[in-house]
Amino acid sequence: MALVARNIDTGAVVADRVGVADTRATRAVGLLSRDGLEPGEGLWIVPSRGVHTCWMRFAIDVIALDERGVIIDRVVHLKPWRIRLPRRGTAGVLELPAGTLDESGTRVGHRIEFAQAQAGSL
């Protein structure tokens, strides 16, 4: 199931092809099997409080969201072999191509809404 992630505060679509990692197995693999993320792609890891980029081959942008979808932490260009420790109140983490957060104007305090992608939009 693919989702669209929209910044409610700016109206920007942050990603229009968001995969969901919501099982122990999919959370463990995350983006490790990928060589990169294309513009518009993302991975919503839930539940998750923090992330690491050990064994990854590319940098990512990361936002930590609380249960209401409010961004409580933001990291741009998190390089491979780094760890972002959990932030209090984090319910899930959205991983995006590096540069996405700056390009979309997405900041701490903004709210992200997920919706099912429309048929034919992928």
Structural domain including 57 reads 1-7+18-87
* 54 lies in some domain: yes
Domain tally, the chain: 1
Average confidence (pLDDT) over 12-16? 97
For residue 27, the model assigns a pLDDT of 92
* 52 lies in some domain: yes
* 83 lies in some domain: yes
* 30 lies in some domain: yes
Three-state secondary structure of the chain? CCEEEEECCCCCEEEEEEEEECCHHHHHHCCCCCCCCCCCEEEEECCCCCEECCCCCCCEEEEEECCCCEEEEEEEEECCCCEECCCCCCCEEEEEECCHHHHHCCCCCCEEEEEECCCCCC
Percent of the chain at pLDDT exceeding 70 = 96
Single pTM value for the model? 0.93
- pLDDT for 61-107, tens place per residue? 999 999 999 999 999 999 999 999 889 999 999 999 999 999 999 99
* 104 lies in some domain: no
* 38 lies in some domain: yes
* 102 lies in some domain: no
